[in-house]
Structure 1
């Protein structure tokens, strides 16, 4: 969908728009702050551009339309080759029109495009002399930039020395990953500063900061490689003839970080349709990336096409940025609500002034926990940066502190549980009602009865409320003591529905241990982790006997998560005992308890995994399943993989052993083909695991 332009009704509105855009750009590039979010800025610039197209004689000299990004800054280090911005398109129609214009300029259709993620950071040029990093320069006004060489050594992916002693300039994007952003704000607020509003602002402010009392890491991704005046003639000539995709491969060989190491690796495409397909694939992966992207960069890949197309004063004519809908907007935090989850965790939720992000109107956003609110110094009435990508729950990143008016108010934390008025356990970052699961018993039981847990047909939320309010059920174990007479005594419970529910409860008692463990809702676990724990230990007795060190032997459980899981299981001991007494299964079919690890076994890497056709394999399932697998949910497919000895995964990498590609398999199948990972159809996979199909 095309981003609409701001409507400028007269020359005064145009002049104000130019002033606002220039101020926002300068604030961002100079200190990592901005009065506008990306979408608002884009709308403003498009409005300015539309006004100037209709009033060419009234264009102001400060207008951002004729300048590269960051053009408000003056630099003192000249660029050997102009460091330009990119023009934008916002829809498939606009992109197709751009390719047609490029073809007319070239005199032929483009036969090869490069397609890469548009990373949401700052452009810099890194100069290497005989393989050693000697200077970092910002884009500045495109002709000269600011020397930020003080940041050398703080940017991951930009080595101090290349793999070969060559003299070249590496151009790319400096950004902060999500983890780096969190760390940066912890350091910044810990030293008395205001938190950054988002990772892009954090990278901008950090890159230019000097003489701080602390340092925080950033990450670099290359997007260009070019010679310098003193580059060896033969190398300079070779680089000048390389296609863009070849330059990226050369950069990687020299040891510089490229998007090839990510889930959104760059590709080459031969047609507009292939480019647009890759745009959709990257857009679909956006929410799960550990760093921000705001679009996709498409370039004519061949050097000859680039030379023929040439460049304007602001941007090359052979490249375009296909902008994706904004995932971040600035709005106001109106209130904070405190909700109690099924395990008793008290979670704050921000009530927002409604704002549209990526096609949805957002009125609520997660605030994580009280410690997070304190660390971010959030206040009621704050302008806040809200992030939402895909189906991800909207979250408040940070206050936009420089927009404060002084009328903001502190957020008041609850002193007792907002649901049952019991005391609150504040010993951990996530506060919890001291009644635990019993505080919100209906939610806890509804979760346990769900399809991916005990799958108790006929036990929906309405029936759970009825059982709890009648006093028949006070915990999960009580479900398995229900009698026919008790159920018949409830409203709207006839003989058929009663008998069906009792039959479903009988079936539920025989579910695998992994389902029972998941139904208990142990904090720090979910469906996949519950399966891993159950298959590792095989019995509930072995799980309960595990200490923190033993729990860490399960894949995916580290030093932080293990103590929580062990403590949760100890807390649940009385409930587990009652479930055992009611005849609920506490073993995992096909799994064997881990053998004691002797010194010899430890040196050899521990015990061998259980046998099965998928032993030692990592399997990814994508697309629609057919044949014997057609009725299996994705969770059931993962269970099948693990019963057969394999490990299920949601992403394709070099470590993936097999990809089961069903109908309409998209980017995961394409990535498997690129990496040479083995592919199987649903029918082929069903034949391999036939002995494990229920």
Structure 2
């Protein structure tokens, strides 16, 4: 799950303690007022734990403003009384602390806990939604736990919180209002378009949006319910809500039409043992990076109502529930500089240089900035304190500046006027800027990529040799490789008869590579190796692909309405290079693929044409994901060769586990994908088991001595 920082902040003496209390009070006030704070969640947690540790050693010095033992750190207020206290949760940070907490709860009860409920701790704003006779009448924030702020003006604007329930009952539903990652991007775009400063993270955006009144635009948020309790008008339902287990209450609320986590990959589960709880905690943690919303932990509760009543609650938190906090995936750090790099297709991409910061177990010094328009939209400046997000293996990204921390010394980010690579002109007409020379700007990189193992696989053509051929004027693109003459190569330094003949033989062999490899070598923007295989399988020939319009390309699995026209335009731009490859005798068909029926490349008659799949095979109809290090008969196969093997066997290869996944091939150190597959009930096979499934096709791959991971 990643390394969790459990060490409290050091508070050495009374003076340091007073400063820590003031810092925590200020941070909590900013956080609960608008969702933005001068410190990130991990720093705040460590600060509060340091304060608590000092107070434990010096109980007579505890200050009235101390955040310990208070809901929302004592910073939030409200004027609408809650029907029952709306408390926070205490935290644990390790499996050992979880076991100790569970044991202490069972000692308090004097009996084992019969059932545990385990669910995600959603990173949003806690809300109580009151329904009278099935109609939503009031929304109230948590506030100080006894009273909250009335935000009923937001009724009707929160997805998942229906204006009317499916039954005319009276009750109070409690849950979190948050922004999904997609809603956060849209909301920030709307905010900046209307002259506002971007929110630093999704939690702040949700809090600010929920409280906002009279905005000229509407940003969307989402509600996830995590409980319900009776109101004075609930009648007989009130008795049931007080007797039902927590899991049954959630099931009932879901049936009323209220959004809960029940339909997500991290749906609440009821488990019998602490060992099962810990296993589910690890599963949810493993799925975290792929969720459409943020979570900062997992909540564990005693499921039975009688256990909850017997355990009771303190002034700040119930004793029957705990939050297992996960490592922080968001931290605040400083933007030191912006580097402008040129990719092999000529795209000019900005990269943030950061003051090093530890996030999710690794030190982050660089992060994605997407494109120049994104920098302008987020109003990023050099010297800004910025919120940086990282989860799992995802490349870190800069979310937005923490505007309230600006000192006035921040400086504008200077965009390049000329290509940083070659000094040529930059095409700034698109969202992504690009050198007008395109692939020619990074010719060596472009050719080296094209001849790589997962593309044309031409042995003997490393970067050094490519540089030599380019400098000798023999290569202007990778199609020139197929017209090289023996005497041209022999005239070069360090090119003897043997190396020349071996290279020419490898180039000749590359002519027979399937269309999918040729497409990958072309490096069409918006595609990769997997997408190249899907496109090749769908169209079967280059001629059919080049004749396809955007609507026809869109029908390839994984290509949406935005990407399709870009691919069509890119293929048109590459037409001279493709023509040179055809003239040189390079194969332009995909062996075994069946072309779409006449009319399926475009036009309305093709609307219902199914995606073409390879016929038969041991994996026919299966969607297969490969993760971890392969062993045994598969040890020599690269990931690309594994995916090709899957598709030759009639299956569909995929890079991510979902409900559509049929099989996960899990090698050593499989990690989060295995956890997600097990959580979804997807079949998991080890390398030996999978090798047996495709044994007949595997023989060809084992016979390739050049195939290395």
- Match in the other structure for 2:704: none
CA distance in 1, matches of 2:355, 2:319: 40
- Between 483-492 and 136-145, report the one with greater CA deviation: 483-492
Deviation at 1:678, TM superposition (A): 6.1
Which of 5, 10, 13 is the matching residue for 2:8?
5
Q: How does 1:424-503 map to 2 (within 5 A)?
A: 424-493=426-495, 497-503=499-505
- Match in the other structure for 1:184: 187
Which of 224, 227, 232 is the matching residue for 1:229?
232
CA distance in 2, matches of 1:35, 1:351: 20
CA distance 1:304–1:342, change in 2 (3 Å):
same
- Match in the other structure for 2:585: 583
CA distance in 1, matches of 2:269, 2:501: 58
- Match in the other structure for 2:42: 39
CA distance in 2, matches of 1:672, 1:71: 41
The answer as to 2:277 corresponding to 1:272 is no
- Say if 1:71 and 1:140, in contact at 8 Å, map to a contact too: no
CA distance 1:405–1:669, change in 2 (3 Å):
closer
Tell me the SS of whatever aligns to 1:66. coil
CA distance 1:2–1:601, change in 2 (3 Å):
closer
- Match in the other structure for 2:198: 195
Which of 237, 241, 245 is the matching residue for 2:243?
241
- Say if 2:105 and 2:311, in contact at 8 Å, map to a contact too: yes
- Give CA-to-partner distance per residue, 1:145-192, whole Å, 9 cap, x none: 111111122211222222222222211111111111111111111111
Which of 616, 628, 631 is the matching residue for 1:612?
616
Tell me the SS of whatever aligns to 2:29. helix
Deviation at 1:624, TM superposition (A): 6.2
Tell me the SS of whatever aligns to 1:439. helix
CA distance in 2, matches of 1:468, 1:30: 61
- Give CA-to-partner distance per residue, 1:322-361, whole Å, 9 cap, x none: 1111111112212211110110000111222222222322
- Say if 2:181 and 2:292, in contact at 8 Å, map to a contact too: yes
CA distance in 2, matches of 1:666, 1:228: 45
- Between 202-211 and 463-472, report the one with greater CA deviation: 463-472
CA distance 1:94–1:678, change in 2 (3 Å):
closer
CA distance 1:434–1:493, change in 2 (3 Å):
same
- Give CA-to-partner distance per residue, 1:126-158, whole Å, 9 cap, x none: 112222222111111011111111112221122
- Give CA-to-partner distance per residue, 1:514-550, whole Å, 9 cap, x none: 1111111111111222111111111111111111222
TM-score, normalised via structure 1 length: 0.93
- Say if 1:70 and 1:139, in contact at 8 Å, map to a contact too: no
CA distance in 2, matches of 1:416, 1:9: 53
CA distance in 1, matches of 2:49, 2:486: 69
CA distance 1:385–1:675, change in 2 (3 Å):
closer
CA distance in 1, matches of 2:144, 2:517: 59
- Say if 2:347 and 2:433, in contact at 8 Å, map to a contact too: yes
- Give CA-to-partner distance per residue, 1:604-639, whole Å, 9 cap, x none: 932574432555544444566666555444433333
CA distance in 2, matches of 1:487, 1:53: 78
- Match in the other structure for 1:122: 125
CA distance in 1, matches of 2:675, 2:394: 24
CA distance in 2, matches of 1:422, 1:603: 43
CA distance 1:351–1:536, change in 2 (3 Å):
same
CA distance in 2, matches of 1:358, 1:676: 27
- Between 181-190 and 637-646, report the one with greater CA deviation: 637-646
- Say if 2:25 and 2:73, in contact at 8 Å, map to a contact too: no
CA distance in 2, matches of 1:616, 1:284: 27
Q: How does 1:154-165 map to 2 (within 5 A)?
A: 154-165=157-168
- Match in the other structure for 1:208: 211
- Match in the other structure for 1:147: 150
CA distance in 1, matches of 2:106, 2:696: 56
The answer as to 2:654 corresponding to 1:649 is yes
Tell me the SS of whatever aligns to 2:71. coil
Deviation at 1:682, TM superposition (A): 6.0
Tell me the SS of whatever aligns to 1:231. coil
Which of 555, 562, 565 is the matching residue for 1:563?
565
Which of 637, 653, 673 is the matching residue for 2:642?
637
How many equivalent residue pairs?
693
- Give CA-to-partner distance per residue, 1:273-323, whole Å, 9 cap, x none: 333333333223222222211122222223332222221111111221111
Tell me the SS of whatever aligns to 1:642. helix
CA distance in 2, matches of 1:500, 1:244: 70
CA distance in 1, matches of 2:305, 2:643: 46
CA distance 1:595–1:247, change in 2 (3 Å):
same
Q: Aligned Cα RMSD in Å?
A: 2.7
CA distance in 2, matches of 1:336, 1:663: 37
CA distance in 2, matches of 1:241, 1:330: 44
- Match in the other structure for 2:83: 80
Unaligned runs of 5+ in 2: 701-709
CA distance in 2, matches of 1:25, 1:306: 29
Tell me the SS of whatever aligns to 2:333. strand
- Between 218-227 and 611-620, report the one with greater CA deviation: 611-620
Which of 528, 533, 545 is the matching residue for 1:526?
528
CA distance 1:509–1:284, change in 2 (3 Å):
farther
- Match in the other structure for 2:519: 517
Which of 271, 285, 288 is the matching residue for 2:287?
285
- Match in the other structure for 2:353: 351
- Between 271-280 and 32-41, report the one with greater CA deviation: 271-280
- Give CA-to-partner distance per residue, 1:360-402, whole Å, 9 cap, x none: 2222222111111111111111111111222222211111111
The answer as to 2:101 corresponding to 1:98 is yes
Deviation at 1:643, TM superposition (A): 3.5
Q: How does 1:38-77 map to 2 (within 5 A)?
A: 38-69=41-72, 71-77=74-80
- Say if 1:609 and 1:615, in contact at 8 Å, map to a contact too: no
CA distance 1:480–1:359, change in 2 (3 Å):
same
